[in-house]
Copies of this chain bind each other. A is one copy, B any other.
Amino acid sequence: MTELKMKALVFVSPGKIELIEKPIPKPGPTDALIRITTTTICGTDVHILKGEYPVRPGLIIGHEPVGVIEELGSAVQGYTVGQRVIAGAITPCGQCGSCLSGTHSQCGGKPMGGWRFGNTIDGAQAEFLLVPNAMANLSLVPDHLSDEEVLMCPDIMSTGFSGAESGKVKIGDTVAVFAQGPIGLCATAGSRLSGAGLIIAIDSVERRLKMAKEVGADIVINFKEKDPVQVIMEITKGRGVDVAIEALGAESTFQSCLRVLKPGGTLSSLGVYSHDVHVPVNAFYAGLGDQRIVTTLCPGGKERMRRLMEVISTKRVELKSMVTHRFKLHQIVEAYDLFANQRDGVLKVAITP
C-alpha cells in the first residue's frame, strides 16, 4: 500500500502552494489514518501561504478534518474502520506534563505544541490524514449531523467559544467582541451560550455585523462609522465591559479591549499577533486595576469535539451557514485565492475531495 498515492496541498515557498501527489501515509501504533471527506481553509493557512508563519516546504497544510477511519494503528483501541470522525486542529497527546496539567494546547510543554496538523506534521488538505495519538483525538460524528454542520468544530468554533470560556463569561456579563470574522462570530455565539447579558460586536463589514446579530450580538458597532470605545463606554454608562474578546490579532483592537474593560475585568485574547503589543499604562490602570489578560489556543482533543458536536445536535448554535462557498480538492488553489482575498463575501469554504 506504500505505493498508493493521494492528492495533497503543500506549501512550496512564500506565496506558493501546490496540489501534488504524495504517498498515502501508514499509521504508526498509536496513529489512525482517516480519509478526508470535508475540510476547510483557515486564516492561519493564509498566513502560512504568505510566509508570515513559517512551515517547512513540502508540508501538507490544513488543520480542520472531517473524515472516515481508513486504518488504525496496532495499539489503537475503541474504534473501527469506517467510522465517521473529526479531530481537533490541536491534537494533544494527553500524556505529557502539560496535558496532564490540563494545558493540552501546549502539549509537550512547547509553545503551541499541540498544534501539529499543517504545522509540524502533514495536515488535512489532502485525501488522507494521519491523526497522531488517535485515542485522544478521534471523535465520532453522530449520524444526524452532516459534514458541514461539524466542519467548524475542529478550529473556528473551538477557538471562538474559548474566548468566552477563558474570559469566564457568566450570566449577566456585558461582553464586547472585537472583530467578527469566523473566530469572532464564534466568540459572539460562545458568549451568548455562556449567559452574557449584553453582547456588543465590533467590525467594519456590514455582512459580518448582520451575522453577528444572528449568532447572538445585541448591539453591533461599525468602527468605520463610530468609535467603539466611546460607544461602549456610553452604552455601559461608564462602567465598561466585564469581558472584552480580541478576535483579530492587532495592537489596535488589543488596546481597544483594554480601554473598554472595567476595573476587575478580563481581556480574553484569541488573535494571532504578528507584532509586539504596546500596553498603554493608563488603559492598564498602572497595573492596579485587578485586570486579567488571558490568551487561548484552540482547545482540542476528542472530548472537546464531542461537547461541541453536542451543542450543535441540540441546536444551541447553527454554524454551517458560515460555509459560503464550496470547492472540490482539485480546485483548492482557487479556493485559497478567493478566501485569501476575501472576495464575494466569503466567510468559510468547504473543500471536498
Contact = CB atoms under 8 A, between A and B. Distances in A.
Interface of A: 28-30, 74-75, 92-106, 109-113, 115, 133, 135-136, 161, 165, 170-174, 190, 193-195, 197-198, 218, 239-240, 249, 262-264, 269-281, 284-297, 301-304, 306-308, 310-311, 313-314, 316
B276 A280 contact: yes
A287 B249 contact: yes
A94 B97 contact: no
B135 A95 contact: yes
A106 B290 contact: yes
Given A100-B304, A263-B103, A310-B172, A95 B133 contact: yes
A329 to B, nearest CB: 28
A60 B340 CA distance: 61
Contact of A276 (B97, B279, B292, B307): B279
Q: In the assembly, how many copies of this chain are there?
A: 4
Contacts of A97: 239, 302-303, 306
A194 B171 contact: yes
A263 B172 contact: no
A-side interface mostly:
loop
A99 B190 CA distance: 24
A120 B301 CA distance: 26
Residue of A103, A293, A301, A313 with most partner-chain B CB within 10 A: A293
A94 B107 CA distance: 12
Contacts of A195: 193-195, 311, 316
B272 A277 contact: no
Contact of A95 (B112, B136, B161): B136
A239 B136 CA distance: 18
Given A100-B303, A103-B263, A297 B289 contact: yes
